[in-house]
């Protein structure tokens, strides 16, 4: 192969690479190409959902995120808002938990009594699917459900490393 042909191919490849990079270059004010790049490569919030629930009427805001054609639910730091019915001790979330799953509660104020933030709890009596689950919490794997005596104050969250 002629050394000049090899060099010409490398220059053409570099020019093609440069043209592709220019297509994804962000500009301000935002032009059409910048908007397309942002939509394709970066997650952005497209709407929010506010739900009121639980005996105290806790208000939860979750966000709908989008990247390219994929939409997903965005919650605060992997914390899932929950409501709890103090009569039945049943928690409700918009996610999937299963029996024996390790879970932790978090709150912006006071957790439902007698729950303690940062304590290991285990899911029992779980029912539901990925779109929503009801369950109770136990202090031990497969143990008895904890009797919830009040629904706490502030926004209530639960998280787990098993979902």
In a domain, 13, yes or no: no
Within 10 A of 98 (CB to CB), how many other CB atoms are there?
14
Along the 163 residues of the chain, how does pLDDT read in single tens digits? 677 788 888 989 999 988 887 777 777 788 888 888 888 878 777 776 665 554 445 555 667 778 888 877 665 546 788 889 999 999 998 888 889 999 989 888 899 999 998 889 999 999 987 667 899 999 999 999 999 999 899 888 888 865 4
Number of independent structural domains in the chain: 1
- Edge-first strand listing for the sheet containing 80-81: 80-81, 156-159, 102-107, 121-129, 132-138, 90-93, 83-85
Contact (Cβ atoms closer than 8 angstroms) between residue 87 and residue 145: no
In a domain, 1, yes or no: no
Q: What is d(CA 78, CA 61) in angstroms, rounded to the nearest whole number?
A: 13
Query: What integer pLDDT is reported at residue 49 of this predicted model?
Result: 66
In a domain, 8, yes or no: no
- The whole domain housing 89 covers 44-159
Query: What integer pLDDT is reported at residue 54 of this predicted model?
Result: 45
Query: What integer pLDDT is reported at residue 126 of this predicted model?
Result: 93
Query: What integer pLDDT is reported at residue 163 of this predicted model?
Result: 45
In a domain, 56, yes or no: yes
Query: What integer pLDDT is reported at residue 65 of this predicted model?
Result: 78
In a domain, 18, yes or no: no
In a domain, 102, yes or no: yes
Q: Positive or negative CA dihedral for 58, 85, 117, 128?
A: negative
The length of the chain in residues reads: 163
In a domain, 71, yes or no: yes
Within 10 A of 111 (CB to CB), how many other CB atoms are there?
22
Q: What are residue 62's DSSP bridge partners?
A: 49
Q: What is d(CA 94, CA 80) in angstroms, rounded to the nearest whole number?
A: 8
In a domain, 58, yes or no: yes
């Amino acid at each position: 192969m002629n050394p000049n042909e090899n060099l010409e191919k490398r220059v053409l490849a570099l020019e093609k690479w440069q043209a592709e990079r220019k297509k994804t270059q962000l500009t301000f004010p935002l032009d059409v190409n910048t908007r397309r790049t942002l939509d394709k490569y970066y997650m952005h919030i497209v709407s929010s959902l506010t739900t009121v629930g639980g005996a105290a009427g806790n208000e939860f805001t979750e966000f709908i995120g989008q990247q390219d054609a994929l939409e997903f639910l965005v919650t605060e730091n992997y914390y899932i808002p929950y409501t709890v019915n103090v009569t039945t001790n049943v928690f409700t979330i918009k996610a999937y938990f299963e029996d024996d799953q390790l879970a932790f509660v978090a709150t912006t104020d006071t957790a439902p009594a007698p729950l303690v933030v940062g304590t290991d709890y285990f899911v029992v009596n779980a029912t539901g699917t990925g779109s929503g689950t009801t369950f109770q919490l136990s202090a031990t794997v497969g143990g008895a459900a904890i009797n919830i005596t009040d629904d706490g104050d502030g926004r209530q969250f639960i998280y787990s490393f098993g979902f």
